[in-house]
Amino acid sequence: MRPIRPASDAPRGRSSRRGSRTLAATALCAALALTAAACGPGSDQADGQPSVAASDPAGGPEGIKIPDDIKQKLKEHGIDLDKWRGGAWKNWDRDKWLREAEDFVNPIIEDLWDPDRMGRAKQPEKPTVDPDLGKDQGVTDPTPAPVRARTVEAPYHQSVPEAGKVFFDGPEGSMVCSATVVKDPAHPGKSNLVWTAGHCVHAGKKGGWYRNIAFVPSYNDAGRSAARLKGATREQVAPYGVWWGDWAQTSDQWIAEGGPTGGAGAPYDFAVIHVTPEKGNAKSLEETVGSALPVEFNAPAVPKVSRITATGYPAAPPYDGQRAYQCADRPGRLSIDAAAPVMYRIGCTMTGGSSGGGWVAEGRDGQPALVSNTSIGPVTAGWLAGPRLGPEAKAVFTAVSGKFAR
């Protein structure tokens, strides 16, 4: 049985730019087709028949109904919990796929993300790309030489405690991205914020919000091979628990322009997720994992950044998505739209599934800080690009932090 409960009873948020246009939806994968960003479908479409949770706010026994006001808020989004538990979340009808910035809804379905389902979450088989992307913009540097991704030293909670995986469902099945625990100025030392790519939570121009979005810090902490993970317990795969997004926000630009080809919206391909534990936990995410990275907005221009380290869980061949990898390189510039901010670009052989993973550089105080996230990158060319985090990114971050500041 998989109880389902609302991830939050917080009131609906507002877009940072009122009047976001309504977007047509089609059943597309989250991955940018030109990206190694790529999240993607797994083999499962509809496993299990989850049921409504019957626990009280203190985690009491069955018999307590979900408050009517919370049910009503979900119904305003076209979500009936009684139908949702029977599999209605798998309905991706274009007219019912929630897409506007203020429409995020993500009821918790307990035990949905079991080890087997997490292990099957994949990215598209063969994303397409133009290796010469950006060459005519005038501010794009030469394509960097490929940098071979190296395995992160296990246990991950000691080497990269802020890193983890984001799991979610789309029209084509279960999908996966990478993400980073970041500091929350509204809750010093007690952050529940996760940074990832916009396309890991929202399909962009022709889609809407993904469903069942959850973050697993230090996924496969011991760095076991896929073969050794067969039959693994949930504690072995998710030693610090499964944390569901009770709010997510991406840029208006990604929602309006993002797409699976051509890199549209990529300079604004970032997102912030506020999470809550699936199981009772009095500690915050930051306290649970023991660390969080500050976000460096308006980080130095490319020529002034000597080194960026990207972390992720690549899932496309030759990787299988079960282990964490890193690339470190001096960034160059990539411009895919003369009117949009210039992106960072590094040499890296990580593939699909690494999307959303944090890019870390030395911050203004000399300490590690998150300066970008994996967004796009052709599978065979050996490079990745990420947005430079400017005022648009700061606005998204500030909105999510402020929503839970009380």
For the cut 80, the answer to whether the pLDDT of residue 59 exceeds it is: no
Predicted model pTM:
0.84
Higher-confidence residue of 32 and 331: namely 331
Give the pLDDT confidence score for residue 96 in this predicted structure: 82
For the cut 70, the answer to whether the pLDDT of residue 30 exceeds it is: no
Superfamily of domain 3-403: Trypsin-like serine proteases (2.40.10.10)
- Going by pLDDT thresholds of 50, 70 and 90, the confidence category of residue 62 is very low
For the cut 80, the answer to whether the pLDDT of residue 29 exceeds it is: no
Q: Residue 43: which of 117, 94, 152 has the closest Cα? A: 117
Q: Cα–Cα distances in Å, from 76 out to 146, 177, 321, 337, 377?
A: 48, 29, 36, 37, 38
Among 61-70, 117-126, 391-400, the range of highest mean pLDDT: 391-400
Averaged pLDDT for residues 158-178 = 95
Per-residue pLDDT tens for 290-315? Answer: 999 999 997 777 778 889 999 999 98
Higher-confidence residue of 150 and 14: namely 150
Q: Cα–Cα distances in Å, from 332 out to 335, 341, 377, 384, 386?
A: 10, 13, 13, 10, 11
Q: Give the Cα separation of 78 and 329 in Å (integer).
A: 46
Per-residue pLDDT tens for 170-213? Answer: 998 999 999 999 999 999 999 999 999 999 999 999 899 999 99
Give the pLDDT confidence score for residue 337 in this predicted structure: 82
Compute the mean pLDDT over every residue in the chain, rounded to the nearest whole number.
81
Give the pLDDT confidence score for residue 56 in this predicted structure: 28
Q: Give the Cα separation of 211 and 108 in Å (integer).
A: 10
Tell me the three state secondary structure of residue 19.
coil
Give the pLDDT confidence score for residue 123 in this predicted structure: 64
